[in-house]
Amino acid sequence: MHCPHTEQGSGRQVCSHLLGGLDDNWTTEQFRHYRRFTGHSLNYVLTCPECREYPLSELSWVCDPCFVEIAHGSRLGTSGRPQVAETDSGLKLQQVDSLPPEANLLQVVPFEKGWAALTETNELILLDSGRRRAFPLARWELPLYEELTLVAREPYVAIASTFGTRGVVVDTATGQVSMSLERAPSPACRFPLGFTRDGLLVHGPQLSDPASGAPVKTLHNPEDFHQSSLSPSPDQGWLAMNGWVWHPMGEVRLLNLNEDRPSRALCRRDGLCDAPLVWLGPNRLGVWGLGELDVMLLPGLRVFDLETQQELSPILGPEGPFAFDQYLFCHTTEDGFSVWDIETGQRVYLHPQVHPLAYHPAEKLFLVQTPQGLTLNRLQ
């Protein structure tokens, strides 16, 4: 069985059970499917749950529009892995120390000579790598089910309700709240929060002094742009922002904080309002997701050179969240920890059993939570 338009398309493969919904009254339940990677580059097929392991030769061919229509259904998961370029670099992740506490950590960010972390009881703690101690700092009084966003730049830590409207800045030198944060409700948008290289706080469209809360500058975004998560560059005055404009069309926008100019759109993806971003150097930004349509996006990084305003060759395969320090570091629950050479696009190290919480660029350490406790690890 094939779709009635195969002569119009180059041909994509799906199992025949998904073809029955190709009419004017289809629902996402009719197209409940798995994305199955074939092992050839980033190629994949769509199958129903019963046909996940069927031989590819027994699948049906459909035209591109019908494939997109089926892809818009309810995706149940992914099977198989993309084929990525890889080489053995000789790199190894070695444990060098351990840290308290025994409590599970939900989020961790690098902070001075250690880490700022949120525990599963919403307690904010500081982990001192040198003295191997954990310092309780404050407790965020929110329901445990509410997701939080944590960012830090010594001596301040900012915490906000990820999809809510409130947040605070804590001065770790005194343990006191130095600034309260609030925003208007914004559907599907994360609380925009981050520290610039100069230690100023970006929260929504506002740049503020975290010590006093005094506004420093208002960012210029289009009125119809709904701002979501953001990523200030660590070395230059760039600010990258996720967000969307109606209908929704996801946008990654870029702003130079040293200039008094409006932000500009870097790329747009239909339906994708928020995706991992990573700085790959002073003037190079990586944006997760290859493609233009949310249901068709493939794992990998689009790479933009901000000085030349050109898009460079993509890196095929990496999944976020990301960190960068000479190499690109990736971590997913399914694949574990991987390291990528951004110049060659090759994966140079993979450890499926390691799940780092965060990377500290000054100390060159990964913090890993194991059933036995927290460990400090270095790539050697």
For 27-71, the pLDDT digits (tens) are 666 789 999 999 899 999 999 988 888 887 778 888 888 899 899
Q: What angle do CA 311, 316, 318 make, to 5 degrees?
A: 105
pLDDT mean over 252-271:
94
11 band by pLDDT with thresholds 50, 70 and 90:
confident
Q: What count of other Cβ atoms lies within 10 Å of the Cβ of residue 195?
A: 21
pLDDT mean over 257-271:
94
Q: Tell whether the model's pLDDT for residue 9 goes beyond 60.
A: no
Which segment of 130-144, 185-199, 224-238 scores lowest on mean pLDDT? 130-144
Instruction: Name residue 207's beta-bridge partners.
Output: 202, 217
- H or E element, residue 71: helix 64-71
**74-87 residue pLDDT tens:** 899 998 889 999 99
Residue 192: what pLDDT?
A: 97
**265-323 residue pLDDT tens:** 999 999 999 999 999 999 999 999 999 999 999 999 999 999 888 999 999 999 989 99
Considering the chain, what is the average pLDDT of its residues? 89
Contact 356, 95 (CB under 8 A): no
Euclidean distance between CA atoms 62 and 69, whole angstroms? 11
Residue 291: what pLDDT?
A: 93
Q: Tell whether the model's pLDDT for residue 177 goes beyond 80.
A: yes
Q: Tell whether the model's pLDDT for residue 363 goes beyond 90.
A: yes
Site of tokens 């994949």: 44
Contacts for 41 with CB less than 8 Å, ≥ 6 apart:
82, 83, 316
Taking the CA atoms of 156, 377, 299 and 328 in sequence, report the sign of the dihedral they define: positive
Site of tokens 């559907």: 187
Q: Tell whether the model's pLDDT for residue 136 goes beyond 90.
A: no
Residue 281: what pLDDT?
A: 94
More confident of the two residues 226 and 113: 226
Taking the CA atoms of 315, 318, 324 and 329 in sequence, report the sign of the dihedral they define: negative
More confident of the two residues 60 and 249: 249
Residue 253: what pLDDT?
A: 97
Contacts for 279 with CB less than 8 Å, ≥ 6 apart:
231, 233, 234, 235, 238, 240, 285, 286, 324
Q: What count of other Cβ atoms lies within 10 Å of the Cβ of residue 86?
A: 17
Question: Where do the domains of the chain lie?
Answer: 6-79, 93-379
pLDDT mean over 209-235:
95
pLDDT mean over 24-29:
61
Residue 106: what pLDDT?
A: 87
Q: Is the pTM of this model over 0.75?
A: yes
Taking the CA atoms of 287, 290, 291 and 294 in sequence, report the sign of the dihedral they define: negative
Residue 182: what pLDDT?
A: 93
Instruction: Please tell me what DSSP assigns to residue 200.
Output: P
Euclidean distance between CA atoms 14 and 70, whole angstroms? 9
Euclidean distance between CA atoms 352 and 333, whole angstroms? 9
CATH of domain 93-379: 2.130.10.10
Q: Tell whether the model's pLDDT for residue 125 goes beyond 90.
A: no
